[in-house]
Amino acid sequence: MTSFDSSDTTDLFVIGGGINGCGIARDAVGRGYSVALAEMGDLASATSSASTKLFHGGLRYLEYFEVRLVREALIEREVLLRAMPHISWPMRFVLPVHKEMRFESDTPTSRLLSYVMPWLKGRRPDWLIRLGLLMYDTLGGRKILPGTQVLALKGTPEGAPLEPRFEHAFEYSDCWIEDAKLVSLNARDAALRGARIHVRTKVLRAERVGDLWEVETENTQTGARATHRARMLVNAAGPWVGDVIQSRIGVNSREGVRLVRGSHIVVPRLYDHEKCYFFQGSDGRIIFAIPYESEFTLIGTTDAEHEDPQTPPVCTEEEKRYLIDFANRYFAQDIAPEDVVWTYSGVRPLYDDGSSSATAATRDYTLKLDATTGAPLLNIFGGKITTYRRLAESALEKIGEALGGRGAAWTAGVPLPGGDFPVDGVADLVADLRARYTFLTPAWALRLVRAYGTEAREILGAARSAEALGQSFGATLTEAELRWLMDKEFARTAEDVVWRRTKLGLRMTAEEIAAVDDWMAANAGARTDAAE
Q: Total domain count for the chain?
A: 3
- Left, alpha or beta for 518 (phi > 0: left; psi -120 to 50: alpha)? alpha
Quick one: what percent of the chain has pLDDT higher than 90?
Answer: 74
Is residue 48 a contact partner of residue 183, using CB atoms and an 8 Å limit?
yes
Could you give the 3-state DSSP secondary structure of residue 304? strand
Is residue 486 domain-shared with residue 472, that is, in the same domain? Answer: yes
184/86 Cα distance (integer angstroms)? 14
Residue 445 maps to a domain: yes
CA distances from 397 to 32, 192, 213, 359, 429 (A): 14, 23, 20, 30, 38
Residue 485 maps to a domain: yes
Domain range for 483 is 425-523
Is residue 156 domain-shared with residue 263, that is, in the same domain? Answer: yes
Is residue 370 domain-shared with residue 446, that is, in the same domain? Answer: no
pLDDT of residue 3: 40
Is residue 451 domain-shared with residue 311, that is, in the same domain? Answer: no
Is residue 221 domain-shared with residue 166, that is, in the same domain? Answer: no
Quick one: what percent of the chain has pLDDT higher than 70?
Answer: 90
Is residue 156 domain-shared with residue 245, that is, in the same domain? Answer: no
User: Is the pTM value of this prediction over 0.75?
Assistant: yes
Residue 18 maps to a domain: yes
Q: Tell me, what amino acid is at 261? A: R
Residue 531 maps to a domain: no
**pLDDT averaged over every residue in the chain:** 91
Q: Which of 134-138, 175-179, 358-362, 369-373 has the lowest mean pLDDT?
A: 358-362
Of the pLDDT bands very low, low, confident and very high (cuts 50, 70, 90), residue 104 is low
CATH number, domain of 484, equals: 1.10.8.870
pLDDT of residue 350: 84
Residue 513 maps to a domain: yes
Is residue 262 domain-shared with residue 137, that is, in the same domain? Answer: yes
Is residue 23 domain-shared with residue 166, that is, in the same domain? Answer: no
Is residue 371 domain-shared with residue 279, that is, in the same domain? Answer: no
Residue 299 maps to a domain: yes
Is residue 222 domain-shared with residue 104, that is, in the same domain? Answer: no
Is residue 305 domain-shared with residue 248, that is, in the same domain? Answer: no
CATH number, domain of 138, equals: 3.30.9.10
CA distances from 521 to 314, 482, 498 (A): 27, 12, 15
Of the pLDDT bands very low, low, confident and very high (cuts 50, 70, 90), residue 363 is low
pLDDT of residue 4: 42
Interhelix angle 179-192/19-30, nearest 10 degrees:
30
Is residue 329 domain-shared with residue 445, that is, in the same domain? Answer: no
Closest CA to 169 of 71, 273, 262, 321: 273
Residue 412 maps to a domain: no
Residue 58 maps to a domain: no
Query: Given 318, 351, 384, which residue is the final one in a domain?
Result: 351
CATH number, domain of 31, equals: 3.50.50.60
